[in-house]
Structure 1
Amino acid sequence: MPEGDTLHRIASALGPRLVGQPVRALVLRHQSIERLAGHLVTKVEARGKNLLVFFDEGTVLHTHLRMGGAWHLYGEHERWRRSPASATAVLAVPALVAVCFRAPVARLVRASLLAGDAAIGRLGPDLIAPAFDEAAALARLRRMAGREIGDALMDQQVVAGIGNVYKSEILFHERLDPFAPVSAFSDEELARLLVFARRIMVANATAKPHASGPGAHHGHTRTTREGARPGEGPLAVYRRAGEPCYDCGALLEMRRQGEARRSTYHCPRCQPPRRAAIREARA
């Protein structure tokens, strides 16, 4: 599932191969963008779950993979591993072709307009970015006082990069009830949550892939369980509903959360409800 770490891995894989190269062709949703031919790729950057490819004439290619999209990098004459019909964006430079498959969001935008862009300009601090602003992230999270914390963490205007996997995993690690409002937690608890989220996401974003070749930047097993014992998986709770908790043995659960009804995995024993705090918040 593409979350912030996946996008940073993609940017790290594509950037060194594309930056400085002239565009031979750009095809967006099966339409050729001829005005970019000959222009240089100047930067490839991840912002949360978004990938941005900058060109020297001021245009940016913005893609968002949502649940099923992927970026692959191929040699000029190499056979693609997916059907060309599913290609959303194709960027060809000398000897290389970068292909984005099945991206629900793929568009061109002017770099000068990014700051005010509805999708990019409103993003919260990126947890993986070198200049991550913890104080700003905490302040944005605090503004979600009455919202369930598991739902608030998924709001990309609060912090950018967290998806279903990391939401469930970081809340379990910090033993926080996903269904209690943000107001139920202290600044110290929220700060520890952000620190752990950043540490584990950076570690996964920079880990070496297990394979090379097309799509190799996806060939990494995401790990959130530090110090896992033999026989334990790399994730503590995600997609493990009905299985015993590695720490206490209670059966893990999954509940839908928020307007989008996203899945939240948790341990009912390690993450006990904060009922008193919920009543206070409602009052």
Structure 2
Amino acid sequence: MPEGDTLFRIAAALGPALTGARVVALELPRSDQPCRRLVGRRVERVEARGKNLLIFFDEGTVLHTHLRMSGAWHLYRDGERWKRSEATASAILAVPGYVAVCFRAPVARLLRASALRGDRLLGGLGPDLLGGAFDAAEALRRLRALDEVPLGVAVMDQRVVAGIGNIYKSELLFRTRLDPFAPVRAYSDEELSAMLDVGRRLLQSNVEPRDPPGMYRGSTAHYAATRTTRAGGDRRKPVSVYGREGRACYDCGAAVQMRRQGTMMRSTYFCPHCQPTRAAPPPSGPAPSAP
């Protein structure tokens, strides 16, 4: 699943082509929502919110897509051959000179900008780790509300912070040497705040442009493939633990392990030596009454 840095870079790639341009055509092939009213309107901006991409139009409508596991945005110049079948398109947005196509997105819909705050998919998102005004105190408060949840599950909850997916979850907890399977309450506010800070810096380090000015990339996969989460940004060894089950930890030599977590059984990669088991204190509660 594309994570926050990938969506940020997709928005940065689509923005220059779309922002300020008049809509020539807009189709949502898998939806019965009317799109015709947006032809002739202008694109105001393209914005990433966590793992969501939002395209704002000047009359107050927003195109929302969520790629989940299978989706991808491509950007083509007029007349350029598409790299995927049109039958798999979820959204097609044409402006003079360009066509932006979202393929295989489970979520592709229109809604009013005024409804974003109360929307069931977007309204409950936690602070965006790549947002310009990241509210660290609010993120910590939301994390603390999940004190009994394993840290590796809680940090993936988009209602806590928006933008962390499976890769960053594993890499972040390895970098901060935290046990993914201990409950949130096993950690101090200082440890959790430091973890969130490292997560923000990790994502920020992967949104810098890696292409020459004026170039664009059509495939979402390009942005994931150029991600590095190891200290020093070694492109030959871009990740520390993710996807490396059974291989030696670069830092200590122990075998990297993988366990599944949460109701969705998402994979968590970790080093048992660098991330030792954390014993949680007993839950706090009212003192027992005297007999």
Aligning the two structures, in what range does the TM-score lie when normalised by the shorter sequence? over 0.9
Task: Pick the aligned partner of 1:254 from 253, 258, 265.
Answer: 258
| AA partner of residue 253 (structure 1) | Q
Residues 125, 162 of structure 2: 8 Å contact kept: yes
Moved more, 22-31 or 174-183: 22-31
Q: Deviations over 1:119-166 (max 9, x none)?
A: 111100000111111111111111110000000011100000000000
Unpaired runs of at least 5, structure 1: none
Specify the alignment match of 1:267 in structure 2: 271
- The residue that corresponds to 2:21 in the other structure is 21
**CA-CA distance at 1:206 after TM superposition:** 2.0
Instruction: Tell me how far 1:209 sits from its aligned partner.
Output: 3.9
What TM-score, normalized by structure 2, do the two folds share? 0.92
2:232 aligned partner, one-letter code? G
- Residue number in structure 2 paired with 1:87: 89
Structure 2 Cα separation of the partners of residues 30 and 149 of structure 1 = 37
1:109: Cα distance to partner?
Answer: 0.5
Q: Which runs of 5+ in 2 are unaligned?
A: 286-291
Is 1:201–2:203 an aligned residue pair?
yes
Of all paired residues, the percent bearing the same amino acid is: 60
More helix by share: 1
Q: Which of residues 222, 241, 250 is equivalent to 2:227?
A: 222
- Aligned match of 1:237: 241
Task: Provide the rounded CA distance (Å) in 1 between the counterparts of 2:244 and 2:209.
Answer: 24
Q: Is the 8 A contact 2:2 2:51 kept in 1?
A: yes
What's the secondary structure of 1:222's corresponding residue? coil
- Partner Cα separation in structure 1 for residue 143 and residue 29 of structure 2: 36
TM-score by length of 1: 0.94
- Tell me how far apart the structure 1 counterparts of residues 234 and 55 of structure 2 sit (CA, whole Å): 40
Give the alignment partner of residue 105 of structure 1, picking from 107, 123, 133. 107
Q: How far is 1:76 from its partner?
A: 1.3
Partner Cα separation in structure 1 for residue 76 and residue 221 of structure 2: 14
Give the Å deviation of 1:274.
1.2
- What are the equivalent positions in structure 2 for 1:97-246 lying under 5 Å apart? 97-209=99-211, 212-215=215-218, 218-220=221-223, 221-227=226-232, 233-246=237-250
Paired with 2:96 and 2:38, the residues of 1 have a C-alpha distance of 14
In 2, Cα distance between the equivalents of 1:48 and 1:185? 25
Q: CA RMSD in A?
A: 1.9
Letter in 2 for 1:85: A
1:48 paired with 2:53, answer no
Structure 2: distance between partners of 1:200 and 1:130: 15
Task: Report the 3-state secondary structure (helix = DSSP H, G, I; strand = E; otherwise coil) of the residue aligned with 2:156.
Answer: coil
